[in-house]
Amino acid sequence: MKEETRKRREKRAFFKELIKKEGLKTIPDVTRFLKEISGTILEEMLEAELDEELGYEKYDRTEEKDNYRNGYTSKKVKGTLG
């Protein structure tokens, strides 16, 4: 229980600092910020999943393989935040 309480305090401190740093004062401010970061978070998660699935990171070059990840095509994902 103490570990959970410590983690909760750390998260609150992190979010308080983030709110202050980003100047989030109103609900529209928070909504705008969530829209901005949701795309970045989703991209990072998908990139990590692909790294794990393929067993190598983007632009890795080795002699053992001749298939490389070197680009992407633009995609649009619709979510509740836009």
Burial environment of residue 33 by CB neighbours within 10 A (0 to 12, 13 to 18, 19 or more): middle
At 52 the pLDDT is 86
At 4 the pLDDT is 86
Distance, CA of 43 to chain centre? 6
* Residue-by-residue pLDDT tens, the chain, 82 positions: 688 899 999 999 999 999 999 999 999 999 999 988 998 898 899 889 988 888 777 767 666 666 666 666 777 777 777 6
Going from N- to C-terminal start, the domains of the chain cover: 25-57
* Contact by Cβ (8 Å): 55, 65: no
pTM of the model: 0.58
At 25 the pLDDT is 97
